[in-house]
Chains A and B, each alone.
Chain A
């Protein structure tokens, strides 16, 4: 299990999807805001709560081909499955890697971002909690969609069409401060669903 996790993290590190890339992405998505909507601080606060979710969704969604597709296409998935016969182990390792690489940077730079957009301390904690529990569920969702679409023609748009409707509940509750318990519940539900469906998808494709 830990060897696999180590391997996935090393792979992410080598593929130069380092902390700086992801966090720069988040910062740039948010920097667009004042250019588009002006510098009115009340308005920016409202928009910040929404756009940060768009940034998170994009970061998770655009990179979803790295979860299973890359390993499937170059054959590494075969090797991994031979060495680690429990598919659940493989899937959990992918969850952790994807979350650490594409979500964790957001949480590290979130204090600075909230500062830039005049978010009060109380709101900061609520936003943080919402993003945290929401991002877990969103990672579970892209993982199973990635496992299901391994053999589909390689297009991120197809995957986006499948994923975004499933993201909507997270986005709805995510932008409402204080609804982190609901997000936690949604994440737990998607965890159960994702485990089954990802394992099913992987089993089909290695055959």
Chain B
């Protein structure tokens, strides 16, 4: 089975890496320039709203990462190609970190906006639960010593989690409409001005490049790890 994990894959990753790192840095330079200096401050929230340019992309990619995690788990079930199990594992850790970033930035943003560090807002709460779904996946993988078995089991858990995300989201939203105090304003204003759209777009691109870069680095480590494991087992 491990024959499908060739040096070719590692070579591609190693060649792509410097290019990715440079483009991430360039994109972030542009993105930060536009979002911190070029764009106007929000007329209600002032400069504090600029944290949105980090918060929103990381929240998007946190969700996207779970989709990739579930998708590659499904593909793993269909093809049994170990590369999908490795992709799932690498993206899980990154997704967890992005979830954490969006939680922390959301909380920092909340302080000047709401006056408190944390509000039991539907979106924040769902993100918090998403964080624990990631955590469960990673812990489960680590706690099973037989790694062949671990990848099968955690793939199943990833799919179960993915099925559950809409249910959790639905129930948390519903709960929030029941309990939400009327004074809290929504996080994002209904329409974003075009002058904010441009930096948001560039920052999204930069975050995406950052995600891909880190993902490739993790992927390489996991592939090498996997190889070491196989060699040890055979010996």
Enumerate chain A interface residues (CB-CB to B < 8 A): 144, 148-149, 151-153, 155, 158, 161-162, 164-166, 168-169, 172-173, 176, 186, 189, 193, 197, 200-201, 204-205
Separation of A186 and B168 alpha carbons in the complex (Å): 11
Q: Which of B135, B161, B167 is packed against the most chain A CB atoms within 10 Å?
A: B167
B136-154 residues at the A interface, CB under 8 angstroms: 136, 139-140, 143-146, 149, 152-153
Contact B171 A172 (CB under 8 A): yes
Contact B153 A151 (CB under 8 A): yes
Contact A161 B156 (CB under 8 A): no
Do A173 and B140 contact each other (CB < 8 Å), given the known contacts A165-B133, A204-B152? no
Give B125 Cβ to nearest chain A Cβ, in Å.
9
Enumerate chain B interface residues (CB-CB to A < 8 A): 129, 132-133, 135-136, 139-140, 143-146, 149, 152-153, 156-157, 160-161, 163-164, 167-168, 170-172, 174-175, 178
Give B231 Cβ to nearest chain A Cβ, in Å.
23
Separation of A161 and B142 alpha carbons in the complex (Å): 14
Give B76 Cβ to nearest chain A Cβ, in Å.
13
Do A166 and B164 contact each other (CB < 8 Å), given the known contacts A161-B136, A161-B139? yes
Give A165 Cβ to nearest chain B Cβ, in Å.
5
Separation of A173 and B168 alpha carbons in the complex (Å): 11
**A165: which of B136, B149, B170 is its contact (CB, 8 Å)?**
B136
Separation of A48 and B161 alpha carbons in the complex (Å): 30
Separation of A51 and B133 alpha carbons in the complex (Å): 24
Do A201 and B153 contact each other (CB < 8 Å), given the known contacts A152-B144, A158-B140, A158-B143? yes
User: Which 3 A/B pairs are nearest by Cβ-Cβ distance?
Assistant: A169-B171, A152-B143, A162-B136
